[in-house]
Every structure is written in structure tokens, then in C-alpha cells.
């Protein structure tokens, strides 16, 4: 086996390739049921969403509470275009991406001048308005009844005289989701190491210093917000074609909170950490979904655990399980300062 | 129609104002949007209903007792969740606040169940339903009057506390500059606790009144009310107590008229839209000072 792995790969790269291989053959293990496959696809979906959201709080240090708004916009873009015009999913992905980005710019351009708190609350209001719109504009979205019967994804080669292959069951979606996660991770890595990414990190670490280096704060933040929104919308477009049913309830604030929880747990700004956060929280959510009814509690109670996780993480490991050095330093800064002042006071005595 | 909407709007507005004051006071002293404040409001209603149905207390005894419990909850919230993060970046504190909000809401769901609850039959004072004043086709029940009076009394009382007492003076000092206040011999943490105490009591009172007004209490009620009250605080200028009072009333009336004349479906949307518009157009609000932080980014 060792022959096939080039010797110059680092341990980390080997682990990643191994994980990818494992993910690719996973559906063929005998213990993997359709239900389990469904949950793993859900994990992949949340990985895409969490990676998208990560750009704003993780790379830019801004709290975005309205991410689910873009997820909803993407899902309904995909659902409605399929429902009314029968567009192919491969056309819808870029359209959803663009639509998400447009809304991101529309919301971000006027509001990204604000500081963290105000920005957070504006994004929250935005996502609530999106849900209200989806619920009330019945002529467009069928409102609370939901949008059923969205076509499944298909690969249509009839134009070239080939066959038309429809995605039936979970297996094709599994590989589609893996492909989308891979593309997302690739894009995130490239952005992280680009001029754009470096500018974002500078903004996150010190806005004043960033401005003095000639970084246009507003422009870079709007770009970040738009890209983040676009990935949310792409996640939504996949969701719509995968579950083939949409209803406004699916895009409540809790979803935003859950995704935020993932990136906080995994490590703000850390691509791998964020993905692990998605794995842990989706699995935990599913386990609790099974366990809670046994204990006689409503399923919503699982958010109790998520709330507690957030509070405890912020208290004891504010930079997450896989911290990024810069974020960890920032989170520690306050405490250190306090210790230092105490020390100097002691010396003066 | 017009007058009836006005009456309803003022009632709801008074309740929003009482919650909004809590947001604004807490923001004033620790510059944190206390997302869990809406949950304190929800707990107030649940405490009241528990005291009435389990301990068998009359409404007037349960009311102050539940307020006191909410005040204690507010202080505990600060001591347990926010105090350890005082020096951390605001992102950490904000995430903690959201986490606490979600935690408390679901805790209430575990304790009291997720179904809406009414007050037990016959436990609300009988005359609440009776019409007190009737003019121009508008019926003003005693309950409306009770809410108006209570709101006014509490607002005036709060203003007196802030303006006239040593305690209020200390609060204002801490809001202006924590370090200087500490140098002047003020125990900053204790003042912050007092602020949470006051905010919790007012929030709890608002929760009980809403619960009794609609006769429906549910664990999710704090979430929307909290956001709307925050919108009211922003409208009035965050950090300004009279601003929050006015903001609450204005928002309540706007909502009643919006729901009555425009579209009742977008009732909740009106608050969000007002909030976003105010934050974008006049971030300092009606009465607020321009916060340094607001302008920092650009």
C-alpha cells in the first residue's frame, strides 16, 4: 500500500487523503443504512454552511446571526426555479450563488459600517424578515403549506444523445455532497491564503492597524459577507433539491444558532475545526433526537445542550477545540492584561 | 377603530418599554446586548403562574414575588455567565448571551412544557375583564388601566432611582467610565449587579402583565418580545432610559397601527424593519448619544 502514497506528503495530508478515501467508500460498508447515509449527507450540508458562515465571524471577527436567511433564500431560489421553470440543478447552483451574493451585498453594504453588536442584531432582523416573507407571500412560496414536489437532481445528457440519469435514493446525493464539500474547502483554502484572506485576518486582528495599511474596511467586509451569503445560498439550493420539500419553518433562527455553534465549537476561523464542529453537532443533534423522547422530553430541548455548549466554550475555551493562534491570543488578551496590571500594582507596593 | 388601535398599541407599547429599559440599562453599564433579557421576561410569567397554581397565592401576591425572582435571576445571569467574560472580546460575551438565552428558553420548556399555558381559571382578578371607560366605541377595560398605571409608576420610580439615589448615581458613573468609577471608590461589579436586579424586576413585571393580558404563556414568548424590545431600545437610542421608554411606546403604537391598517401578517416584521432602518439611518436613535463604537468601523 505504501508505494502508492508519495513520500513527500506530510502526515496531515496523509490523514486528509485517508479520510477522503474512507468517506468515498463509506456507503458500501454493510452497517451503513439509508438513515445513516441521510445523516452523513446532513453533516456534509452543514459543513458547507458552517464553512460559509465561518468567513464572517471566523475570518473577519463579526457576529452574523442571520445566516439562515441566506440559506433560506438559496433554498427557495432553487425550489422555485425548479418548481416553476424546471431548471436543471447545474444551472441553479450558480444562480443561487449569485442571488445569495446579491442579498449579501444589499444587506452588507449599508450595515457593515456598524460595530459587532449592531451588525449582529441587523442580520438577525434580516433573517426574521426573510422567514416572514416566505411565510406570508403565499402567491410565491405557498407560505406555511410549504413547497412540495421539487424535482430531484438529475444529470441530463439527452441533448447530446446520452441518457438521463435521475438521482434516486441517498447514494448519488452522498457523492454530490462530498463534491460540494471538497469544492468549498478548496475555495476556502485558496481564499485564506490569498490577498483577500490576509486582509480579512488583518481586519479581525486589529481594524485600526488594517486601515493604516491601506485596507478598505467596508469593501473587504462586504466581499466577505457576500461570499459567506453565497455559500449559504448554495447550501440551501442543495437542501431544496435533496429533501424536495421546503417550508418557512425550516429557516428559523435556531438554524443560524446551530451553525454558529459549530464554528464556535470547532474553532473560529479554522477550516478543519469548523468541519469537525459540524460533525459533532449534527451527530449530537441526531442522538438527542433519539434519546429525548425516551426521557419524555420534547425534541426541541436539544437546544438546551447547544446553549450550554456555547456558554461553556466561551468561558473555558473561547477559541474552540482547534484554536487558531490569532483568535486564541485575542480571546486571552483581556485576561492577560488584567493579570499584568495586578502584577504591576503589586510591584509598586 | 383608530382609537381602539391606539389603546391596544399603548398597552403593548408600555410593556415593550419596560423590557426595553432593561436592555438599555444593561447596555449602558456593560456594553452588552443581553439577549437573555427576553428570557427573564418569559420566566416572570412562568414564575407567576407557578406561584398561583402550585402555591395557591392570589394574583397580587404572586406578582411582586415573581418580580423578585426575576430580579434574582437577572443577577445570577450576570454573575454566572457574564462576569467571567468581562475582559473578553465582545464577540465572546455576545455569544454567551445568545447561548444563555437559548439555554433558559429550553430550560423553561423542560420544566413547564412547550404547550402554551393559561392562568388557572378564576385566578385573575375578576374586574380585569370589566369595562372601565367607554367612549367613541372604544372599550377600555380595567386591565388596560392597570397596565397603564403600573407602567407609569414603574417608569417614574425607575427615573427617581436613577436620578436621585446614590445607587443611581453610581450606575450613571459606571455607564460613563468604569475605570474612573472604580477609582472613585465605586464597587463596579456590585453596581452592575444592581442594574441586572432592576432590569430583571422590570422585565419580569412586563412578562407577568403580557401573560395575564393574553392569558397565554409559552417558553418562546420571550424570544420575539425580547427582539422587539431591543428594537425599541435602539429606536430610543441605546443607553438612554427615557429613550427606551419612548421607543417602546412608539413601537407598540406603530405595530398596532401597522397590523390594523397595513397587514396583520407582517405585525412582527414592523419592529424588525423599524430596527434595521433606525440602525442604518440614525444609529444614535432618538435620544442616544453617538456611541464611539458605532462610528469606529468607518
In A193-324, alpha helices (H) = 195-205, 207-212, 217-243, 253-266, 271-295, 302-316
In the 8-state DSSP scheme, what is residue A3?
G
Q: Write the residue in B86, B102, B268 that is nearest to A303 by C-beta.
A: B102
Cell triple for B50: 407557578
Q: Write the residue in A110, A120, A122 that is nearest to B94 by C-beta.
A: A120
Contact yes or no for A200/A63 (Cβ under 8 A): no
Whether A298 and B109 lie within 8 Å, measured CB to CB: yes
Cell triple for A243: 429533501
| pLDDT, tens digit (0-9, with 9 covering 90-100), for A330-346 | 777 655 554 554 444 44
Whether A333 and B89 lie within 8 Å, measured CB to CB: yes
Place of cell 404572586: B62
Q: What are the residue ranges spanned by the domains of chain B?
A: 2-117+124-219
| DSSP-assigned beta bridge partners for residue A166 | A154
| Cα–Cα distance for residue pair B276/A300, rounded to 1 Å | 29
pLDDT for res B289: 61
A7 found inside a domain: no
Does residue B131 sit in helix, strand or coil?
strand
A212 found inside a domain: yes
Phi, psi of A259 (to 5 degrees): -65, -40
Range A156-162 contact pairs with CB under 8 angstroms and sequence separation of 24 or more? A156/A88
Place of cell 420539500: A245
Outline where DSSP puts E strands in B66-184. 131-135, 138-141
A157 found inside a domain: yes
* Other Cβ atoms closer than 10 A to B52: 21
Say yes or no: B277 contacts chain A, CB-CB below 8 A: no
| DSSP-assigned beta bridge partners for residue B190 | none
Q: Write the residue in B91, B106, B230 that is nearest to A307 by C-beta.
A: B106
> Å from A74 to nearest chain B CA?
21
DSSP character string of A109-145: HHHTTS-HHHHHHHHHHHHHHHHHHHHH-HHHH-GGG
pLDDT for res A348: 40
* Other Cβ atoms closer than 10 A to A23: 17
> Å from A160 to nearest chain B CA?
49
Contact yes or no for A240/A76 (Cβ under 8 A): yes
Instruction: Quote ipTM for the complex.
Output: 0.82
| Cα–Cα distance for residue pair A286/B20, rounded to 1 Å | 37
pLDDT for res A335: 57
| Cα–Cα distance for residue pair B172/A150, rounded to 1 Å | 58
Find the helix or strand (DSSP H, E) in which A100 lies.
helix A89-111
Mutate to test the interface with A, among B23, B82, B98 (most CBs of A within 10 A): B98
Contact yes or no for B24/B230 (Cβ under 8 A): no
Place of cell 459549530: A262
Say yes or no: B183 contacts chain A, CB-CB below 8 A: no
A21 found inside a domain: no
| pLDDT, tens digit (0-9, with 9 covering 90-100), for B226-262 | 888 888 888 888 878 888 888 999 999 888 888 877 7
> Å from B129 to nearest chain A CA?
33
**CB proximity under 8 Å: B 5-44 to A:** 31-33
Contact yes or no for A153/A173 (Cβ under 8 A): yes
Spans of chain A below 50 pLDDT: 1-2, 338, 341-349
pTM score over 0.90:
no
| Cα–Cα distance for residue pair A313/A311, rounded to 1 Å | 6
A15 found inside a domain: no
Mean pLDDT, consecutive 10-residue segments, chain B of 298 residues? 82 90 88 89 92 86 91 93 85 88 90 83 73 75 85 90 89 87 90 92 91 86 86 85 88 86 78 84 72 40
Domain that holds residue A121: 29-348
| Cα–Cα distance for residue pair A65/A54, rounded to 1 Å | 12
pLDDT for res A314: 85
The CATH number that applies at residue A197 is: 1.10.3470
Q: Write the residue in B84, B100, B265 that is nearest to A307 by C-beta.
A: B100
Q: Write the residue in A117, A218, A308 that is nearest to B33 by C-beta.
A: A117
A33 found inside a domain: yes
pLDDT for res A334: 58
Dihedral in degrees, nearest 10, Cα atoms B154, B156, B158, B162? 180
Say yes or no: B273 contacts chain A, CB-CB below 8 A: yes
Cβ pairs A/B, distance under 8 A: 153
Say yes or no: B107 contacts chain A, CB-CB below 8 A: yes
A252 found inside a domain: yes
Amino acid at each position: 500500500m505504501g508505494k502508492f502514497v508519495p513520500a513527500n506528503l506530510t502526515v496531515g495530508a496523509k490523514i486528509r487523503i485517508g479520510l477522503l478515501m474512507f468517506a468515498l467508500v463509506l456507503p458500501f460498508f454493510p452497517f451503513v443504512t439509508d438513515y445513516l447515509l441521510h445523516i452523513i449527507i446532513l453533516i456534509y450540508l452543514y459543513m458547507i454552511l458552517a464553512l460559509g458562515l465561518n468567513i464572517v465571524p471566523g475570518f473577519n471577527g463579526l457576529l452574523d446571526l442571520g445566516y439562515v436567511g441566506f440559506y433560506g433564500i438559496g433554498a427557495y431560489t432553487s425550489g422555485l426555479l425548479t418548481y416553476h421553470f424546471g431548471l436543471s440543478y447545474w444551472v441553479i447552483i450558480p444562480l443561487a450563488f449569485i442571488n445569495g451574493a446579491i442579498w449579501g451585498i444589499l444587506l452588507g453594504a449599508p450595515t457593515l459600517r456598524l460595530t459587532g453588536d449592531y451588525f449582529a442584531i441587523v442580520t438577525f432582523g434580516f433573517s426574521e424578515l426573510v422567514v416572514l416573507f416566505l411565510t406570508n407571500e403565499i402567491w410565491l412560496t405557498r407560505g406555511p403549506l410549504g413547497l412540495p414536489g421539487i424535482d430531484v437532481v438529475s444529470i441530463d445528457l439527452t441533448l447530446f444523445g446520452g441518457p438521463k440519469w435521475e438521482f434516486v435514493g441517498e447514494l448519488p446525493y452522498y457523492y454530490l455532497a462530498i463534491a460540494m464539500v471538497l469544492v468549498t474547502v478548496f475555495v476556502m483554502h485558496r481564499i485564506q491564503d490569498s490577498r483577500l484572506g490576509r486582509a480579512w485576518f488583518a481586519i479581525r486582528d486589529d481594524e485600526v492597524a488594517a486601515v493604516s495599511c491601506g485596507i478598505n474596511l467596508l469593501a473587504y467586509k462586504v466581499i466577505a459577507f457576500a461570499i459567506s451569503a453565497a455559500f449559504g445560498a448554495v447550501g440551501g439550493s442543495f437542501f431544496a433539491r435533496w429533501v424536495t420539500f421546503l417550508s418557512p419553518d425550516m429557516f428559523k433562527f435556531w438554524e443560524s444558532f446551530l451553525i454558529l455553534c459549530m464554528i464556535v465549537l470547532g474553532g473560529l476561523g479554522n477550516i478543519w475545526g469548523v468541519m469537525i464542529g459540524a460533525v459533532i453537532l449534527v451527530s449530537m443533534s441526531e442522538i438527542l433526537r433519539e434519546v429525548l423522547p425516551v426521557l419524555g422530553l420534547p425534541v426541541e430541548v436539544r437546544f438546551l445542550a447547544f446553549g450550554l455548549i456555547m456558554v461553556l466554550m466561551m468561558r473555558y475555551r473561547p477559541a474552540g477545540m482547534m484554536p487558531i493562534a490569532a483568535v486564541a491570543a485575542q480571546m486571552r488578551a483581556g485576561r492577560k492584561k488584567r493579570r499584568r496590571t495586578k502584577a504591576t500594582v503589586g510591584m509598586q507596593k | 377603530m383608530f382609537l381602539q388601535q391606539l389603546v391596544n398599541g399603548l398597552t403593548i407599547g408600555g410593556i415593550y418599554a419596560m423590557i426595553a429599559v432593561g436592555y438599555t440599562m444593561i447596555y449602558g453599564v456593560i456594553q452588552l446586548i443581553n439577549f437573555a433579557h427576553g428570557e427573564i421576561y418569559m420566566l416572570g410569567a412562568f414564575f407567576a403562574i407557578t406561584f398561583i397554581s402550585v402555591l395557591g397565592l392570589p394574583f397580587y401576591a404572586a406578582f411582586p414575588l415573581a418580580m423578585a425572582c426575576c430580579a434574582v435571576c437577572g443577577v445570577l445571569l450576570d454573575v454566572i455567565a457574564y462576569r467571567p467574560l468581562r475582559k473578553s472580546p465582545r464577540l465572546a460575551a455576545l455569544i454567551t448571551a445568545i447561548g444563555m438565552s437559548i439555554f433558559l428558553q429550553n430550560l423553561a420548556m423542560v420544566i413547564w412544557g412547550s404547550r402554551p399555558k393559561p392562568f388557572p381559571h378564576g385566578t385573575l382578578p375578576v374586574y380585569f375583564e370589566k369595562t372601565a371607560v367607554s367612549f367613541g366605541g372604544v372599550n377600555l377595560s380595567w386591565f388596560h388601566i392597570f397596565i397603564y398605571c403600573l407602567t407609569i409608576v414603574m417608569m417614574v420610580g425607575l427615573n427617581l432611582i436613577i436620578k436621585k439615589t446614590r445607587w443611581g448615581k453610581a450606575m450613571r458613573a459606571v455607564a460613563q467610565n468604569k475605570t474612573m468609577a472604580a477609582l472613585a471608590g465605586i464597587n463596579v461589579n456590585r453596581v452592575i449587579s444592581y442594574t441586572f436586579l432592576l432590569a430583571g424586576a422590570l422585565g419580569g413585571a412586563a412578562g407577568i402583565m403580557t401573560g395575564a393580558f393574553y392569558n397565554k404563556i409559552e417558553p418562546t414568548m420571550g424570544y420575539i418580545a425580547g427582539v422587539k424590545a431591543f428594537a425599541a431600545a435602539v429606536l430610543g437610542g441605546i443607553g438612554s432610559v427615557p429613550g427606551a421608554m419612548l421607543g417602546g411606546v412608539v413601537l407598540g403604537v406603530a405595530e398596532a397601527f401597522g397590523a390594523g391598517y397595513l397587514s396583520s401578517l407582517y405585525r412582527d416584521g414592523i419592529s424588525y424593519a423599524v430596527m434595521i432602518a433606525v440602525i442604518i439611518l440614525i444609529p444614535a436613535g432618538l435620544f442616544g448619544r453617538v456611541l464611539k463604537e458605532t462610528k469606529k468601523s468607518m
